[in-house]
Structure 1
Amino acid sequence: MAATQATSTTLIPSRLPTREKSAAMEVVEDLTYGSTAGIVGKYIEYPFDTVKVRLQSQPDHLPLRYTGPLDCFRQSIKADGVLGLYRGISAPLFGAACETSSLFLFERLGREVVYASGYCSRDRLLPLSALWFTGAFAGAFTSLVLTPIELVKCKVQVPASVDGVAPKVPSVGSVIRDVYKHEGLRGFWHGQMGTFLRESGGCAAWFGSKETTTKLFYLLNEQSATSQLEKDALATEALPLWQQAVAGASAGMSYNFLFFPADTVKSRMQTSPVGGTKQNRTFMQEGRALWNQHGLRGFYRGCGITVLRSAPSSAFIFMVYDGLKRHLPM
C-alpha cells in the first residue's frame, strides 16, 4: 500500500499527502490497482484457501475426514483433480478485486478521517498508530462488501448435504438462487459478525504490520548509508523488492494468524446447508458448538496452511499495487 511511507526523521516527498491529483483520480487508482493486485493474489492462494475452508468446515459429531492439510490436498486432488482446488474461483476472483480495491479505498478514507480529527496534520506522514487505525477502519467497511461474496465461495468450495441427501457440486448461480429463495437478501450476510471481526482486526494488523516492517527496513537502510546524500536518496526510493516482499508477507501472516478463530466460525456458518430443517446458528452459537466439540484446537484447524499461503499472496498484492502506483500513475 505505502511501501515508501515511513522513515526515521526524513519525510519522503513522494509519499507526502498531496493535492496534485484529484480525489476522484485517487479513487480510480485505488480501485483499478487494488483490483489487479487482488486478482493476482487470489490465483496464488486459492487452492490453499479451498483446503483451509474444508478443514474448518468438518461437521460436528462425526470423525474428522481430513487428518491435516496434506491429507486434505491428497484427498481433494484424488477426488476432483488439481482443477477441483480451483472450484468456484470466479466468485473469489470478483471478491478479491472488490476486497483489495475496497481495502485500499477505505484505508485512504480512514486517513482522511485521521486528518479531519486533527490527530495529524496533512503536511506530515501518519504515525504508525494512525496507520493501524486506518487498517481497522478499512477492514470494518470492507467486511460489508466481502461477506456475501465469501458466503457464495464457501458454499461452492464445501457442498453441504441437506437432510441426509448426498451433496452435489453447486454452481455460483445455483448458490445465489438457493440463498435468496430460502433466506432472502439478508441470507447473504450470514456470518457477517465473523467477517467483521476478522477484517477489522486483521486489516489493522495487515496495514500496520506492513508499515511497521517497512519503517524498520528504511531505518536499517539509512544506517548503512555512508553519506547524507546517500541517505536522502534512499529516503525517496522504493525499498528493494525483497524487502517489499518481506513487508508484505509479514502483513499477510499477521492478518491471518491473529483473528483466525473468527474466520473459522464464519466458515462453519457459511457452509451450513440452505433450505434444510436446521435453523442457522448465530456467531456465538456456532462458536460455542465448536468449543464443546473440539476445544481451542478446533478454532485453529487449517491455521498453519492459511498463514503459509498468505505470505506469498500478500507479498505479491503489495508489490503489484505499489508497483502500479509508482510506475503507472493515472
Structure 2
Amino acid sequence: MKQDEVNPVKDMIFGAISGVIGKTIEFPFDTIKVRLQSSLVPISTFQMIKATYNEGIIKGFYQGLKAPLIGACLENAILFSSYNSCLEMFKTVDRDIGLRHKALSGAFAGFSVSFILTPIELVKCQLQVSNLATPGSVKKVGESATTSTKNIYSSMIWKIYQKDGVSGFWKGLSPTLLRETIGTMIWFTTYEVLSEYLDKKRPSELNSLVSGALAGLTFNLSMFPVDTIKSNIQTNDILDHGTTNSFEIARKIGIRGLYSGLTITLIRSLPANAMIFYSYELLKKNL
C-alpha cells in the first residue's frame, strides 16, 4: 500500500466506498456462513443454500444487509485511516518503516474498529438467523417465517435494548476484539508483503486484486474458530444455544463445529477482499 501521501479524510472516504463494494459482494455468502455456524442441527452448505433460497433472494440471502452496509462504511473507513495514521506516527520516530510497524498498525486498526463493529454485527447476525427460529422454539431449516413488524431493523434493535440495555449491544465484544486485533494485523501485513513482492516481479494495478484476495483468505482461515464463537454468542438470544461462555461454546460444538461454514467463507473472502483493496488503491491513485 502506497504511503507517499496520507490524508485521513480521503482514507476514510475511500475506505468507506471500498467497504460497501466488498460487503455487497460477500453478504449472501456471509448469511450462509452465519447460519451454518449457528445451526443447532447438522446441515450441509448446499442444504443451507437451498433452504435460504426458498425464503427468497432478498429475504433470505440479503436479510439484514442495511446494518452491515453502514458497518462496512464505518469499519473500512476506520481500518484504513487508523492503519495509515499509525504508520505515520511510527515514521516520526523511525523513518525505516518495516513489517513490524505494519503489523502493529494493523493490530491497532483492528482493535479500534472492534468497538463499532460489535453492535453492528450483533444486529446483522440476529437478523440473518431470525428466519430459522420462532419465539421459544427452533424451526427446521427452510421453514417459512413471517413478521408483523414494518421495520425489522428498529424492531431487532429495540428487542436487544429491552433485554440487555445499552451494554447488550456489545455482546460478543471479547471474541470480536481478538478476531479483529490479530486478524487485521494478519490482513494488512499479508497484503503489504504480497503486493510488494508482486510489484517487484511485475508492476500492475491488478496486483492489488491478487494480494487483497489472499489477504482475505489468510484472515478468515486463521481467525475462523474465533468468529464461530462470536457468531454463537451473538445469535444465542434467537437460537438459544444454552451458553454464551466462549470456552463452553468451543467445548460444546467441538473442533469440527468451530470450522462449520469455513468453505463458503473462504470462497466469499476472495472476491470481496480483492475488491476492497483494489477499489481503495484505485480511488487513492486517481482522486
Secondary structure of 1:158's counterpart equals helix
The 5 A counterparts of 1:210-289 are 210-221=191-202, 239-273=203-237, 281-289=244-252
1:305 is aligned to 2:260 = no
- Tell me, in whole angstroms, the C-alpha distance in 2 between the residues paired with 1:281 and 1:302: 20
CA deviation vs aligned residue, 1:158-196 (integer Å, no higher than 9, x gap): 014432376755711111001111101110010011111
- Tell me, in whole angstroms, the C-alpha distance in 2 between the residues paired with 1:114 and 1:206: 19
Does the Cα contact within 8 Å between 1:162 and 1:273 map onto a contact in 2? Answer: no
Instruction: Specify which of 137, 146, 152 is matched with residue 164 of structure 1.
Output: 137
Structure 1 vs Structure 2: percent identity of aligned residues? 36
Does the Cα contact within 8 Å between 1:77 and 1:85 map onto a contact in 2? Answer: yes
Q: Which moved more, 1:156-165 or 1:185-194?
A: 156-165
Name the structure 2 match of 1:195. 176
CA deviation vs aligned residue, 1:245-274 (integer Å, no higher than 9, x gap): 101101110111101000000001111126
TM-aligned CA deviation for residue 70 of structure 1: 2.1
Secondary structure of 2:264's counterpart equals helix
TM-aligned CA deviation for residue 74 of structure 1: 1.2
Name the structure 1 match of 2:75. 99
- Tell me, in whole angstroms, the C-alpha distance in 2 between the residues paired with 1:262 and 1:209: 19
CA deviation vs aligned residue, 1:15-54 (integer Å, no higher than 9, x gap): 33x5xx7xxxx22112111110000111110000000000
Please identify runs of 4+ aligned residues in structure 1 that moved more than 3 A: 165-170, 276-280
| Cα 1:278–1:305 shift into 2, 3 Å | closer
User: What is the count of residue pairs matched by the alignment?
Assistant: 276
Unaligned ranges ≥5, structure 1: 6-14, 222-238
| Cα 1:211–1:163 shift into 2, 3 Å | same
Unaligned ranges ≥5, structure 2: 140-144
TM-aligned CA deviation for residue 113 of structure 1: 4.2
CA deviation vs aligned residue, 1:57-106 (integer Å, no higher than 9, x gap): 012xxx32x22x2221111102x122220111000100111111110122
The 5 A counterparts of 1:130-169 are 130-159=101-130, 160-164=133-137
- What is the root-mean-square deviation in Å for CA atoms of aligned residues? 2.1
Name the structure 1 match of 2:273. 314
Amino acid at match of 1:266: K
Instruction: Specify which of 42, 48, 57 is matched with residue 72 of structure 1.
Output: 48
- Tell me, in whole angstroms, the C-alpha distance in 1 between the residues paired with 2:71 and 2:184: 16
- Tell me, in whole angstroms, the C-alpha distance in 2 between the residues paired with 1:218 and 1:255: 22
More helix by share: 2
Does the Cα contact within 8 Å between 2:208 and 2:281 map onto a contact in 1? Answer: no
Amino acid at match of 1:282: N
Instruction: Specify which of 52, 56, 65 is matched with residue 81 of structure 1.
Output: 56
Q: TM-score, normalised by structure 1?
A: 0.78
| Cα 1:277–1:95 shift into 2, 3 Å | closer
Does the Cα contact within 8 Å between 2:64 and 2:124 map onto a contact in 1? Answer: yes
- Tell me, in whole angstroms, the C-alpha distance in 2 between the residues paired with 1:113 and 1:265: 34
- Tell me, in whole angstroms, the C-alpha distance in 2 between the residues paired with 1:278 and 1:303: 20
TM-aligned CA deviation for residue 279 of structure 1: 7.4
Name the structure 1 match of 2:36. 55
- Tell me, in whole angstroms, the C-alpha distance in 2 between the residues paired with 1:41 and 1:277: 31
Amino acid at match of 2:11: D
TM-aligned CA deviation for residue 278 of structure 1: 8.5
Name the structure 1 match of 2:142. none
- Tell me, in whole angstroms, the C-alpha distance in 2 between the residues paired with 1:280 and 1:168: 27
Name the structure 2 match of 1:235. none
Q: TM-score, normalised by structure 2?
A: 0.89
- Tell me, in whole angstroms, the C-alpha distance in 1 between the residues paired with 2:21 and 2:244: 34
Name the structure 2 match of 1:209. 190
Amino acid at match of 1:155: Q
